[in-house]
Amino acid sequence: MTKSGQDISDGQAIPVAVTAEAVKPPMPQGLWRSYMLIFLPMLLSNVLQAASGTLNGVFVGRMMGVDALAAMSAFSPVFFLFLGLIIGLGAGATVLIGQAWGARDMVKLHGIAGSAVAMVMTVSVTVAILGGLFSAQLMAFLGTPQAVLNESAHYARIMMMGMPVIFLLWLMSNMSRGVGDAVSPLWALVIATGVAMVLTPVFIEGWLGFPQLGVMSAAVSTVIASAAALLWLIWHWNRRNHPMAFTRQFLALVRFNGSYCKTILRVGLPTALQMLTIAFAEIVLLGLVNGHGTQATAAYGAIVQTLGWVQFPAISIGITASILAAQAVGAGRTEQVHKIVIAGLQLNWLVTGSCVALAYLLSGYITSAFLTEQSVADLAAHLLHIVLWTIVLFGMNSVFMSAMRASGAIYAPTALTMSAILLVEIPAAYTFNHWIGIDGIWWAYSLTFATMLCLQSGYYYFIFRKRKIVKLI
């Protein structure tokens, strides 16, 4: 393809370098290579993203104590709630961008991307305004322990006011992967992680004449780091004439196109609704955890950070399956979707399974890195042992759902997941918590992941595979 995107050359692998050279979606013999070319940079990106959040938690927990970490942890479900909206819109845009890229339709690709940017900025700016005004009331409503409520509200305010920068970086990274470039987001995350690692301890201690910001240090450093990565990504795209470069022509398309917005919402809203349901469940379950005291809340924070590390391979594999499936559908190679699913399941068992095994072996050391009080670290390690194994099931579920959604099956997989959360996870958490205490909350997670896998795999094999796959655009 020429730099203008008008002429397409033939090929087999999906590009990962910043280039407008288009290639065909994966041929059978190149499927594993295509998986790795997207999966490995994405996995490294997610590891860096997790490292940034984890190091912030370690800095705050080790330098300021359990109460400070609890103040940060209390905001986790809220961030996940807002992130769910953006993930939904981003998922819709990425699927459509992948199909447009597979079909070599650059006009549609840029129109979809421009509409997605307009939608994400509208949502994130609204969140920033409301968060800046009502963060204290929000954290109090969540039942945040009184001892950490004030610090938690300050942390939440900074994070929510920084949402436009954080979420635009998230969207742009996904857009880049949609056209097969998983390397640019990786370098952006390298920058973000490096900046955050430097700034968080500087703001905590007030070194070099900077203000001493306490718990807010992690939030301020996150926003600054995201802004630095975002600016670099835009500059890098424009310098390399990337398909997603912010040229004048592209910026002219950053507006609400009714047709594209409708299709993005058709794919994205069910995904967002699913994410919001998960976030709602997390808020409910955090309320149960908070009922066991500040130490339990701090343990919850360490567990969330650890699970984030273990889940990222599974999430990366699912996203890769979605990208490859979307590009295959866009190119008219629908017969490749099942092969993409099988390869994703195999990769999940290999990579995610290895990460789970390693986490079991190192659980005591991992939780002690977050928590200075040994009793709290021991509690967190014990609870991790209950839920870690189900991350492999989560990864399998992610592959099934991602491939089906990228192939046009949107509503049924979403409904099945939401049913498992609302009808299994929340009732089980209340019941098990009443029966056996805090352990029961984590057994509810395990039961839910197993239920989701049964539902999604059953739908895929008995219904989805019998239907004709059609393009969304």
The Cα-based distances of 286 to 68, 153, 289, 298, 368 in angstroms read 17, 16, 5, 11, 21
pLDDT tens for the chain, 473 residues: list them.
333 333 333 333 333 333 334 334 444 447 888 899 899 998 898 788 777 776 777 777 666 667 777 777 778 777 877 777 778 888 888 899 998 888 888 888 899 999 999 998 998 899 899 888 888 888 888 777 777 788 888 888 899 999 999 999 999 998 999 888 999 999 999 999 899 889 988 888 888 878 888 778 888 998 999 999 999 999 999 998 888 888 888 888 888 988 889 989 988 888 888 877 887 888 889 889 988 988 898 889 889 878 888 998 999 999 999 999 998 988 888 889 999 999 999 999 999 999 999 999 999 999 998 888 899 999 999 999 999 999 999 999 999 999 999 888 889 999 999 999 999 999 999 999 999 999 999 999 999 999 999 999 999 999 999 888 878 77
Query: Is the separation of the CB atoms in 60 and 72 below 8 Å?
Result: yes
Look up the domain containing 278 and give its range.
28-466
174 part of a folded domain: yes
Its pTM stands at: 0.80
4 part of a folded domain: no
| Cβ contacts of 104 within 8 Å, gap of 6 or more | 1, 5, 8, 22
| Cβ contacts of 90 within 8 Å, gap of 6 or more | 116, 120, 170, 171, 174, 175, 268
7 part of a folded domain: no
13 part of a folded domain: no
9 part of a folded domain: no
3 part of a folded domain: no
Q: What is the DSSP string of 238-283?
A: HHTT-TT---HHHHTT-S--HHHHHHHHHHHHHHHHHHHHHHHHHH
170 part of a folded domain: yes
Which amino acid, residue 203?
F
How many domains does the chain divide into? 1
207 part of a folded domain: yes
